[in-house]
Structure 1
Amino acid sequence: MADELTAAGVLRLGRREFGPGQFAVMAIVNRTPDSFYDRGATFATDKAYDAIAQAVDDGADLVDIGGVKAGYGEPVSETEELRRTVDFVAGIRARHPDLVISVDTYRSGVARRVGEAGADLINDTWAGADPEMAAAAAATGAGLVCSHVGGLTPRTDPHRMAYDDVVADVIRTTTALAEQAVAAGVRRDAIVIDPTHDFGKNTLQSLELTRRLDELVATGWPVLVAVSNKDFIGETLDLPPGQRGSGTLAALSVSAWLGARVFRVHDVPAARQALDLIAVLRGAKQPAGTRRSLA
């Protein structure tokens, strides 16, 4: 296991470095009134700043700011998305100079503006639907998340998606986007690939990705998993979003054991504890204390 850990590279985002075996927790803070999970709990600016501060206290390494609901919903113009994100990113940067700030957007115009405001990472969950996305990230020095959606356009739901091998398709797409990003000027050590569970995938396909995540890790690119409270967990356990916490932790733990590096979550304290234990079990971290039966 130790040799496996040392083979992984260092991920550099903003002022932070995440070395081999380190797990980075990314807290979700949505600036939307219609999030599937929190239904707008952090849409108001003061509530959003409070959520950021709490996430940092709870052990988050990154925050991911979203100005548009990922799935189908009311149209949101680029102007409105900018209104929800740019000044807020600048405010976070002023309040938390060392915090890694990620912004979830599929628009290169938004990516460029939030990068100028202080964002360290662009979380492009729609797999380069905007062909200028990598160039926008490179222009501001931001990193980039390269994802897989099976060819869907932004904010559309999957319907009868079929792959000869979903894992092979994810690897082919995300690594190609990563290499294109490098060619566009994004730093290689600031690029993350994301299998993008549920986006362009049914529940069986998302489960297959989870159990075979080590194949994505083997590409050498740091892997991000965003499984928190997602529908594939809900369908598997027959539970609504508010009751998927235990299933989320199970999926996170499996993903961490198989080598994922970044974890996008709603419940930061639970994720931090689970990932810290996995890091110890993998030999990348020492226990906080080992006094039992030794004194």
Structure 2
Amino acid sequence: MSIDLAQCFALPDHLTIANDAHGLPHITVHNRHATAEVYLLGAQVTRFQPHAGPPVLWLSAKSLFQSGKPIRGGVPICWPWFGPHASDSSLPVHGFVRSRDWTLEETAALSDGRTRVVLSLKSDEHTLRVWPHDFVLRYTITVGATLDLDLRIDNPGTAPFTCAEALHTYLTVGDVRQIAISGLSDTTYVDRMRQSQRLSDSGDVTITAETDRVYLGTTATCTVNDPLLQRRLVIAKENSLATVVWNPWIAKAKAMADFGDDEWPGMLCVETLNALDHVLTIPPGGSHHLVAHIAIASLP
């Protein structure tokens, strides 16, 4: 990290910029509402914790924190595809932007005590080799009592492009076996644990085994009711028509090098996305915003 970066963007009583123990530049936000951490690698929010409670986001103790490698936890950005590439298995899962260094464009202390951070990523010769389209991504992170995330995609080219997108949010929970997720009842989902069958269930979603579901055609707010941590996590969204619920459970956790064998009970992914039936086509000169709002509420 250059000294200029810290000098230009640090905010007294709000925001500092430094390299972590692995040499990766990251932003630390500490305002009157919450603390947060954002890495330039992947523009990834790795921590969000309102002052009144435990962390909202989950981060694996086994995360690699290596340049060019994705960070396991927080809120990875998946783009321009979600999951494995459709035709080339050698390309990275969930696209390439979570493994790229983003540019810090703006920091601001807002009048209500919140803190705004803006990062960007543009197409270059490296991205064009794996995805032949010009693009500009602009990611606005606002840290307050709520974590607000706004990913803007611009197509500056002369032809339309099609893409998927996700804010792959990892949440901290007391015990995933005891939580219940409301907001997805009677919603059709693709169950990747059952050969991608399309199913639907009534009532709250609970986790009793490895879970990998893509809920389709939903704009609903999801609420994670957590009796152990005595809170609800509320994930609202805009311009998103799909939601993923994911937990690796025992065997898959053991199979992942950047995921602790015994970490799976303390995390749950509730992801904001457009994929599968809801991929985007952005025309020349067009843009799209994907927005998520993550908040804490008390149990009723």
Normalising by structure 1, report the TM-score: 0.25
Normalising by structure 2, report the TM-score: 0.25
Determine which structure has the larger strand proportion and give its number: 2
